[in-house]
Amino acid sequence: MDKITPEQRHYTMSRIRGKDTKPEILVRKYLFSEGFRFRKNDKRYPGHPDIVLPKYRTMIFVNGCFWHGHENCKYYTIPKTNTDFWVAKVRRNQERDRSDNEALAAMGWRVLTIWECQLDRNRIEITLKNLVEDLKALQLG
Ligand SMILES: [Zn+2]
């Protein structure tokens, strides 16, 4: 994991920030460009984590703000029609996320969640930078 200059980072960011790129792919591309190696959608684990970093004993979920019910987020707005249905559906997802996270933590994994809104054009760079620093700090510690 070599240090990269701000110019290189900007270049990397401009390349991974594709137009219709799914949020988890943005995170994977960035981590890969920073030298991290990982498994994807590991079905052996509860919740099928989007990114599994065995070396860091860390799993990352990249969550859509609506489906996973990101509290106080502008992307989590319950539709005006079929409101009860949507509230119940999102609540079930939240409960499942919580129990998945608890199960993974009990297995000794650190679980990180990145929300879709943190990957907005104006937040993605700091989000991914913080993630990488977080991972590196763990390995050293
Ligand atoms: Zn959000």
Query: Where residue 2 falls among pLDDT bands split at 50, 70, 90?
Result: low
Closest CA to 59 of 75, 90, 33, 36: 36
> Treating both helix axes as pointing N-terminal to C-terminal, what angle do 23-33 and 6-16 enclose, rounded to 10 degrees?
150
pLDDT of residue 9: 64
Q: How far is the CA of 140 from the centre of ligand 1 (A)?
A: 30
Q: How far is the CA of 103 from the centre of ligand 1 (A)?
A: 23
Q: How far is the CA of 22 from the centre of ligand 1 (A)?
A: 15
pLDDT one-digit tens code per residue, 27-42? 999 999 999 999 998 8
- Which residues lie closer than 8 Å to 41 by C-beta, 6 or more apart? 48, 49, 50
- Which residues lie closer than 8 Å to 32 by C-beta, 6 or more apart? 38
Q: How far is the CA of 119 from the centre of ligand 1 (A)?
A: 9
Q: How far is the CA of 63 from the centre of ligand 1 (A)?
A: 8
Query: Where residue 57 falls among pLDDT bands split at 50, 70, 90?
Result: very high
